Amino acid sequence: MNTYDNDANMKIFLLNKGRYRGAALDATRMVTEMQKAHNTGILETYALGETYIAAGLLTSMLKGNDRLGIVFECGGPIKGISVEVNAEGNVRGYLKNNPFPLDGVPESLDLSMLFGPGFLSVIRYPEGSRQPFTGQVMITFGSIAKDLAYYFTTSENLPSAFNLSVKFNKDGSILGAGGVFIQKMPEEGGKIDSRADEDAAAGLEEALTSMPSIGRMLAEGKSISEIIGDTFGDYFPNVIGSRQIDFKCSCSRDQFSSYLKGLAENDKRDIYEKGPYPVVTVCHNCNTSYEFTKKQVKDIFEY
């Protein structure tokens, strides 16, 4: 296998002589930072962390200033998950409910009963386009990996599979987190798959879904390159690139100043007169807070 930037935490590769593309990500640091920033419990970290990992993997499909969003909207306790990633590998996002409003302590990390009925949307923001492109499917499995695979296979006609993993220590901290994504390359000229291609597709999906916990393998010291080789060695893996994926938000104090400035006049007057001070604004995507004194609010409102 070729090697690229050994410091990057995601490897992009081809399989079966270029008929499949894939990505593998060590997301341990990213999910740990996300857990700390959003102050999430185990179940919440698991749900949001798996979505972060999936978004990170999908940067392998982005270029330039492209962005991509993954949005789950549902009627169960999770209520919603919104995560966004750009081509630079910066991932951010949040849970609509944090913590999940549960009646008791769950017996497992199975999320299927917590989603309920709803929709999964994948939103593409291509560089230079005035409008985003949104595809949507019903939540079918209540599994982030399976529902995303179902979306790409049915909505974009790109047979896909994901393996997402977050492993915890006994104290709820992250032991290891990562994921692998493979996708069938579009056929040229609409050619029909051969029996050999069908067999390869079934074998790759089996290799991906039956592999040991990625989070545990990473915690035990295995590298992303080793995981790719061990899992897909029979399919001629060829690493063609690497990318750094991080929890990073583009929010700023200036953005929230502009937000306050753009409020309706009656809302501005109410905030200015009643406070409370300091006025605290919070970014949903990274949970960073920005505080504004009364003098700063006065300057923003130009009173």
Q: What is the percentage of the chain residues whose pLDDT exceeds 90?
A: 83
Reported confidence tier of residue 192, pLDDT bands at 50, 70, 90:
very low
What pLDDT is stored for residue 203 in this prediction? Answer: 83
pLDDT tens-digit readout, 138-170: 999 999 999 999 999 999 999 999 999 999 999
CA distance readout (Å), 149 to 61, 107, 185, 194, 243: 14, 26, 14, 22, 22
**pLDDT above 60 for 260:** yes
- Whether the pTM exceeds 0.85: the reply is yes
**pLDDT above 50 for 188:** yes
The listed CATH number (3.55.30.10, 3.40.50.300, 3.30.43.10, 3.40.50.720) that belongs to domain 10-247: 3.55.30.10
pLDDT tens-digit readout, 220-251: 999 999 999 999 999 999 999 999 999 999 99
253-301 is a CATH 3.40.950.10 domain: no
Rounded average pLDDT over 245-272: 96
- Residue that is written with structure tokens 């560089």 in the block: 127
Reported confidence tier of residue 2, pLDDT bands at 50, 70, 90:
very low
CB 41 within 8 A of CB 244: no
Query: How many angstroms separate the CA atoms of 40 and 50, rounded?
Result: 13
- Residue that is written with structure tokens 């590298």 in the block: 223
In the chain, where the domains are located: 10-247, 253-301
**pLDDT above 90 for 137:** yes
DSSP collapsed to 3 states, 204-239: HHHHHHCCCCHHHHHHCCCCHHHHHHHHHHHHCCEE
Query: How many angstroms separate the CA atoms of 159 and 27, rounded?
Result: 24
CB 123 within 8 A of CB 30: no
CB 95 within 8 A of CB 78: yes
Query: How many angstroms separate the CA atoms of 125 and 257, rounded?
Result: 25
Rounded average pLDDT over 40-63: 97
